[in-house]
Amino acid sequence: MSAPQFWLYAQSRLSDPTIKDEAFRQWYQDYHVPDVLQTGSVSKGEFYQAISPDKQYRWLAAYRCDDLDFMQPENFARIPKTHTLLGTTKSCLEIADFDTRLFQQSFLLKNGEGSETGIEADRYLLTCSFHCGSDDYKELERQCVDGDILHAIPGSRWLKISRPLEDEDTYLGSMIVQGLGDVDKKDLGRLEEDWRSYLAETLGLQRQFLQPHLWELLKSHDRDVSWSSDES
């Protein structure tokens, strides 16, 4: 039996108006994600920007964790919190808000051919938050295992169900991650709403309990990829 797969999703948004958006993006993509990989418990890091400009959080970092040692305070303490690229001596925790959530993968389904590497290289990521009770899990998983949701969007290639490791009143009931292959850019703007309507009908949930979010991959890092830092 394979070891459990953990995923850490960290959404972020700038809270300091003096910090340039592009500087934050470049720091996060080129320095912060590789810094996180250096903790030794994270095997892959991906960085996304939101397709819709009106989303509350514009950036998403997704980390595949080999074990939960990554969550230990001493590992977080080793991650640099400042960089000259940001144009300030403040910590990243002072200039941005972070919404961080940890999941354990339940199962992965594939629709069509392709290796694990090829699937993970997809350009777009569609996440969906389910605000539902524990009694809804079994029916949700049954519909996913049967492949119902895999056909929600043309061009979709895989689907992953992850469960949160913490429970809060407004926490994600489940997260579905949908990898997309080639998608016509003219269709991007309506994909979130189309999928939301489809899921509401398929799952029998009210639309307000579903929060889809479409992201575009900017850069992907593996732990064995060489990188350098000009951290001063």
Q: What does the CA dihedral 18, 21, 25, 26 come to, rounded to 10 degrees?
A: -70
Question: pLDDT at position 94, please?
Answer: 97
Confidence of residue 135 (pLDDT cuts 50, 70, 90): low
The confidence score (pLDDT) of residue 58 equals: 94
> Quick one: which of 62, 52, 206, 53 has its CA closest to 130?
206
pLDDT exceeds cutoff 80 at 177:
no
Inter-residue long-range contacts of 132-137, CB under 8 Å, 24+ positions, other chains counted? 132/173, 132/174, 132/205, 132/209, 133/173, 136/173, 136/203, 136/205, 137/163, 137/173, 137/174
For residue range 64-116, what is the model confidence (pLDDT) as tens digits? 988 888 778 888 888 999 999 999 999 999 999 999 888 888 878 776 654 44
Higher pLDDT, 213 or 97: 97
The 10s digit of each residue's pLDDT in 38-53 is: 888 888 999 999 998 8
117: pLDDT strictly greater than 50: no
Does residue 181 have a pLDDT over 90? no
pLDDT digits (tens, 9 = 90+) for 153-167: 666 777 787 877 776
Q: Output the pLDDT for position 115.
A: 40
pLDDT of residue 21: 93
Banded pLDDT at 127 (limits 50, 70, 90)? confident
Q: Kindly list the structural domains of the chain, giving each domain's residue range(s) and its CATH number in brackets, ordered by start.
A: 6-101 (3.30.70.100), 108-217 (3.30.70.100)
Please tell me the predicted confidence (pLDDT) of residue 5: 84
